[in-house]
Structure 1
Amino acid sequence: MTGGIGLDAIRALPKAELHLHVEGTLEPQLAFALAQRNGVALPFASVEDLRARYDFTDLQSFLDLYYACMAVLRTRKDFADLAAAYLARAHADGVRHVEMFFDPQVHLGNGIDVDTVIDGLRDALDDARVRYGMTGGLILCFVRDLPVDSARAVLESVAHRAGDLIGVGLDSAEVGYPPHLFAEVYARAAELGLRRVAHAGEEGPAAYVTESLDVLGVERIDHGIRCLEDPALVERLARERIPLTVCPLSNVRLRAVDAIEAHPIRALLDAGVVATVNSDDPAYFGGYVGDNYAALALTDAEAVLLARNSIEASFASDARKAELLAALEAATR
Structure 2
Amino acid sequence: MHINDHNPLLPYVPAADRYDQMKYRFCGKSGLQLPEISLGLWHNFGHNADLTLGRKILRRAFDLGICHFDLANNYGPPFGSAEENFGRILQKDFLPYRDELLISSKAGWDMWPGPYGNFGSKKYLIASCDQSLKRMGLDYVDIFYHHRPDPTTPLEETMGALAQLHRQGKALYVGVSQYSAEDTTRAYQILKEMGVPMLIHQPRYSMMDRWVENGLLDVLGEKGIGSIAFSPLEQGLLTDKYLKGIPADSRAAKDGRYLKAEQIAPEKLAKIEALNQIAHQRGQSLAQMAIAWLLKDPRITSVLIGVSKPEQLDDNVAAVKNSNFTASELSAIESILKA
Q: TM-score, normalised by structure 2?
A: 0.46
More helix by share: 1
- The structure with higher relative contact order (CA 8 Å, sep 6+) is 1
State the structure with more CA Rg.
Answer: 2
